[in-house]
């Protein structure tokens, strides 16, 4: 080993000898670079938008369901005035008839003052109900889960009090159900679009970063690494990036909802809060909403990891395809 | 150890880059692969490294017909071949030590089991003081030696080197050549692709000369 000895002699006699220690072995893929950081930011932004949309849709859904249940929780019996009718007696009778049905909870006769208040927007203040033939109302609260037989109630009322008309708010409920369903569908559509955009962005960004690291895949391949090993290394790397990114995005979205919820709770009965509540409902996600955010984060992390694995395996396949088809030289010199 | 029989290769629908290659590379042999630029030296090295498949002919590596070997088994076969690329292909974010240890790391070996071997090998190629240095601060000759050390790390049966002296000055080229000869004396077959006639004249070794895709061998 004369040459080796000479090489060692020439290179191993520097003026200052450094101790022979090896730094802790680093990961095969560079832990952070511009591409990796950019991917993390992209994932964080997409996770934030997806979680925000998820939260918003869940809020809209809760609000729409709230409207629906509030309206369908009551029915109204309207009694038209007539000369031969004792209104007060008929109101009481109608209330008792309604409450005799299974599925009703309580009944309330709207008194003169309440009726006048109800008509105030159209007929103005100071209305004297004795001067006008104004119908009177009985409001009956029902059990939503076990509603009474409306047809039977309607038949009985019309038989006993011909001037009585039962309004189960079906038209309103149907319209609200339809509006709420449309709102939920639109929200769901927006959610699907945002998730699709997120999935595609994450996939393309991950593929872009791997394409920038193709030389690493090639070197590992050429030093005898099996496809599974290379894929595992890339998976580990991208799992870390995506977990950091999605955790950041998801946490910011969750904190935003918490802050908005706290603001709304602390500023009740102010015009701003009332307006926000009317527009968006309450900024409260509930356990399901926060679990949804957590699930979104996990989905993004898994998606990135899976994309990394598939892209690396495909890169290795491409390298092998060049092998099986010399026509695909991938720009390598043929000299 | 390696047997080529009537091997031909063309890229796509183009002309044959390599034609009727028939030769053997015996164990512990030493040979130069030479020829003018564009003659197909790198392509032949890629065939030897199993990173290309011939369009015709038979290649037997270590007693096995390459066309019969499933893709999944190729990494195992590649581990028996060391290759030194013309552009070194060292990973910039890894130190000299980590680059050289890479072949053992990808085999799933525990670092404790190879640490001393890697350090010994680095000392052997004269990089004992450059263990923790990144490739960016290594000179051309040092990079070349790191690439050679990486190729040798898992004791391959054959070493393929593509223009190993192309980026170094004549004294370093001489030192690298002596290193290859030393390796060969230790039992590794060596194929050096070069068009440096001066380098070849220093050693009385087998010459494989590629001209217009045809191979002539001078023992």
**Mean of all residue pLDDT scores within chain B:** 88
pLDDT at A10 (0 to 100): 47
- Across residues B112-133, what is the average pLDDT? 89
Beta bridge partners, B9, equal: B18
pLDDT at A222 over 90: no
Asked whether the beta carbons of residue A224 and residue B107 sit closer than 8 angstroms, the reply is yes
For A93-114, what is each residue's pLDDT tens digit?
999 998 998 988 888 998 888 8
Asked whether the beta carbons of residue A26 and residue B98 sit closer than 8 angstroms, the reply is yes
**A-chain residue closest to B163, CA distance:** A335
pLDDT at A328 over 80: no
pLDDT at A20 (0 to 100): 66
Name the residue facing A12 among B9, B13, B129 (closest C-beta). Answer: B129
Contact list in B for residue A34 (CB cut-off 8 A) is: none
**pLDDT grade for A332, boundaries at 50, 70 and 90:** very low
- Across residues A219-229, what is the average pLDDT? 86
Instruction: Give the 3-state DSSP-derived string for chain B, with helices as H, strands as E and coil as C.
Output: CEEEEEEEEECCCCCEEEEEEEEEECCCCEEEEECCCCCCHHHHHHHHCCCCCCCEEEEEECCEEHHHCCHHHHHHHHCCEEEECCCCCCCCCCCHHHHHHHHHHCCCCCHHHHHHHHHHHHHHCCCCCCCCCCHHHCCHHHHHHHHHHHHHCCCCCEEEEECCCCCCCHHHHHHHHHHHHHHHHCCCEEEEECCCHHHHHCCCCEEEEEECCEEEEEC
pLDDT at A285 (0 to 100): 74
Asked whether the beta carbons of residue A334 and residue B52 sit closer than 8 angstroms, the reply is no
Question: What is the token pair recorded at A3?
Answer: 């040459």
Cα distance between residue A165 and residue A301, in whole Å:
59
Q: Helices A227-266 and A286-324 sit at what angle, rounded to 10 degrees?
A: 160
Q: Please tell me which residue, B57 or A187, carries the higher pLDDT value.
A: B57
CB of B165 closer than 8 Å to CB of B176: yes
- Across residues A63-80, what is the average pLDDT? 77
pLDDT at B29 (0 to 100): 93
A263-273 burial string, b = 16+ CB within 10 Å, else e? ebeeeeeeeeb
C-alpha distance from A10 to closest chain B C-alpha (Å): 8
**pLDDT grade for A308, boundaries at 50, 70 and 90:** confident
Asked whether the beta carbons of residue B182 and residue A4 sit closer than 8 angstroms, the reply is yes
pLDDT at A67 (0 to 100): 67
Q: Which of A252-266, A299-313, A314-328 has the lowest mean pLDDT?
A: A314-328
C-alpha distance from A213 to closest chain B C-alpha (Å): 10
CB of B123 closer than 8 Å to CB of A13: no
Cα distance between residue A113 and residue B38, in whole Å:
103
pLDDT at A290 over 90: no
Q: Which of A209-223, A267-281, B45-59 has the lowest mean pLDDT?
A: A267-281
- Across residues A29-51, what is the average pLDDT? 83
A42-76 burial string, b = 16+ CB within 10 Å, else e? bbbbbbbbbbbbbbbbbbbbbbbeebbeeebebbe
- Across residues A57-75, what is the average pLDDT? 74
**A-chain residue closest to B15, CA distance:** A327
DSSP string, A183-227: HHHHHHHHHHHHHHHHHHHHHHHHHHHHHHTHHHHHHHHHTT--H
pLDDT at B91 (0 to 100): 92
**B-chain residue closest to A229, CA distance:** B106
Cα distance between residue B124 and residue A281, in whole Å:
74
Cα distance between residue A247 and residue A294, in whole Å:
8
**Mean of all residue pLDDT scores within chain A:** 79
Measured CA to CA in angstroms, residue B67 lies from A54, A103, B54, B55 at distances of 54, 80, 9, 11
Asked whether the beta carbons of residue A8 and residue B128 sit closer than 8 angstroms, the reply is yes
pLDDT at A92 over 60: yes
pLDDT at A268 (0 to 100): 66
Cβ-based contacts under 8 A for chains A and B: 143
For A2-25, what is each residue's pLDDT tens digit?
444 444 444 444 445 445 677 778
Q: Which of A58-67, A236-245, B86-95 has the lowest mean pLDDT?
A: A58-67
Asked whether the beta carbons of residue B89 and residue A327 sit closer than 8 angstroms, the reply is no
Q: Please tell me which residue, A212 or A69, carries the higher pLDDT value.
A: A212
C-alpha distance from B37 to closest chain A C-alpha (Å): 6
Q: Exposed, middle or buried by CB within 10 Å (0-12, 13-18, 19+), for A241?
A: buried
Q: Which has the closest alpha carbon to B46: B6, B12, B78?
A: B78
Cα distance between residue A166 and residue A281, in whole Å:
31
Asked whether the beta carbons of residue B132 and residue A23 sit closer than 8 angstroms, the reply is yes
Q: How far is CA B148 from the centre of its chain?
A: 8
**Percent with pLDDT over 70 in chain B:** 100
C-alpha distance from A279 to closest chain B C-alpha (Å): 53
pLDDT at B89 over 70: yes
DSSP string, A8-56: HHHHS--SSPPP---PPPPPSS-S--HHHHHHHHHHHHHHHHHHHHHHH
**B-chain residue closest to A225, CA distance:** B106
Q: Which of A51-55, A182-186, A327-331 has the lowest mean pLDDT?
A: A327-331
Q: Please tell me which residue, A116 or A282, carries the higher pLDDT value.
A: A116
- How open is the CA angle A237-A242-A245, to the nearest 5 degrees? 130
For B164-176, what is each residue's pLDDT tens digit?
887 777 887 888 8
Question: What is the token pair recorded at B123?
Answer: 């000392």
pLDDT at B94 (0 to 100): 92
Question: What is the token pair recorded at A166?
Answer: 């039962």
Q: Which of B39, B93, B122 to mutate to probe the A interface, most A CBs <10 Å?
A: B93
Contact list in B for residue A219 (CB cut-off 8 A) is: 89, 91, 102
- Across residues A214-222, what is the average pLDDT? 85
**pLDDT grade for A331, boundaries at 50, 70 and 90:** very low
pLDDT at B96 (0 to 100): 94
Asked whether the beta carbons of residue B126 and residue A7 sit closer than 8 angstroms, the reply is yes
Name the residue facing A8 among B79, B91, B123 (closest C-beta). Answer: B123
| pTM attached to this predicted model | 0.68
Asked whether the beta carbons of residue A8 and residue B49 sit closer than 8 angstroms, the reply is no
pLDDT at A127 (0 to 100): 75
pLDDT at A296 over 90: no
Name the residue facing B106 among A3, A229, A329 (closest C-beta). Answer: A229
pLDDT at A29 over 90: no
**B-chain residue closest to A329, CA distance:** B11
The radius of gyration of chain A from alpha carbons, rounded to an integer in Å, stands at 36
Q: B93: Cβ–Cβ under 8 A, 6 or more apart, which residues?
A: A26, A30, B134
How many Cβ atoms sit within 10 Å of the Cβ of residue B5?
14
Cα distance between residue A53 and residue A31, in whole Å:
31
- Report the side by side order of strands in the sheet with B81-84: B81-84, B158-162, B189-193, B30-34, B206-211, B214-218
pLDDT at A324 (0 to 100): 58
Asked whether the beta carbons of residue B131 and residue A22 sit closer than 8 angstroms, the reply is yes
């Amino acid at each position: 080993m004369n040459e080796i000895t000479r090489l060692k002699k020439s290179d191993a006699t520097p003026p200052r000898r450094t101790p022979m220690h090896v730094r802790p072995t680093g990961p095969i893929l560079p832990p952070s670079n511009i591409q990796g950081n950019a991917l993390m930011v992209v994932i964080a932004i997409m996770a934030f938008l997806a979680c925000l949309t998820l939260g918003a849709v869940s809020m809209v859904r809760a609000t729409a369901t709230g409207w629906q249940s509030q309206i369908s929780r009551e029915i109204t019996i309207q009694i038209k005035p007539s000369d031969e009718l004792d209104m007060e007696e008929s109101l009481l009778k109608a209330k008792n008839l309604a409450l005799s049905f299974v599925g009703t909870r309580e009944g309330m006769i709207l008194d003169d003052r309440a009726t006048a208040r109800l008509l105030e927007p159209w007929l103005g203040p100071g209305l004297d109900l004795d001067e006008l033939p104004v119908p009177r109302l009985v409001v009956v609260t029902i059990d939503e889960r076990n509603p009474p037989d409306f047809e039977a109630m309607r038949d009985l009322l019309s038989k006993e009090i011909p001037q009585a008309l039962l309004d189960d708010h079906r038209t309103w409920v149907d319209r609200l159900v339809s509006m709420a369903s449309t709102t939920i569908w639109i929200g769901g559509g927006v959610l699907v679009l945002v998730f699709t955009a997120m999935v595609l962005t994450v996939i393309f960004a991950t593929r872009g970063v791997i394409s920038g690291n193709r030389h690493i895949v090639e070197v590992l391949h050429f030093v005898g690494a099996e496809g599974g090993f290379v894929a595992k290394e890339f998976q580990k790397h991208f799992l870390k990036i995506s977990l950091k990114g999605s955790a950041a995005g998801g946490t910011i979205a969750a904190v935003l909802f918490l802050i908005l919820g706290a603001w709304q709770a602390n500023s009740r009965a102010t015009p701003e809060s009332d307006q926000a509540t009317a527009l968006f409902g309450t900024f409260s996600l509930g356990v399901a909403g926060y679990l949804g955010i957590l699930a979104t984060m996990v989905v993004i992390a898994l998606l990135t990891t899976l994309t990394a694995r598939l892209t690396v395996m495909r890169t290795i396949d491409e390298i092998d395809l060049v092998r099986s088809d010399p026509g695909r030289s991938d720009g390598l010199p043929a000299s | 150890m390696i047997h080529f029989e009537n091997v031909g290769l063309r890229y796509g629908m183009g002309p044959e880059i390599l034609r009727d290659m028939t030769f053997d590379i015996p164990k512990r042999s030493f040979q130069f692969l030479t020829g003018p630029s564009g003659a197909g030296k790198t392509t032949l090295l890629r065939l030897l490294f199993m990173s290309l498949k011939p369009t015709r002919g038979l290649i037997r590596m270590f007693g096995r017909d390459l066309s019969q070997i499933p893709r999944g088994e190729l990494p195992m076969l590649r581990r028996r071949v060391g290759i030194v690329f013309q552009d070194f292909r060292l990973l910039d974010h890894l130190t000299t030590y980590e680059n050289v240890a890479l072949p053992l790391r990808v085999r799933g070996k525990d670092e404790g089991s190879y640490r001393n071997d890697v350090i010994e090998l680095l000392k052997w190629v004269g990089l004992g003081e450059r263990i923790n240095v990144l490739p960016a601060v290594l000179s051309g000759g040092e990079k070349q030696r790191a690439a050679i050390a990486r190729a040798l790390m898992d004791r391959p049966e054959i070493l393929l080197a593509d223009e190993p002296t192309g980026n170094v000055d004549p004294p370093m080229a001489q030192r690298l050549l002596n290193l290859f000869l030393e390796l060969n004396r230790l039992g590794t077959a060596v194929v050096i692709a070069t068009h440096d006639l001066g380098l070849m004249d220093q050693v009385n070794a087998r010459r494989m000369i590629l001209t217009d895709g045809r191979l002539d061998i001078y023992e």
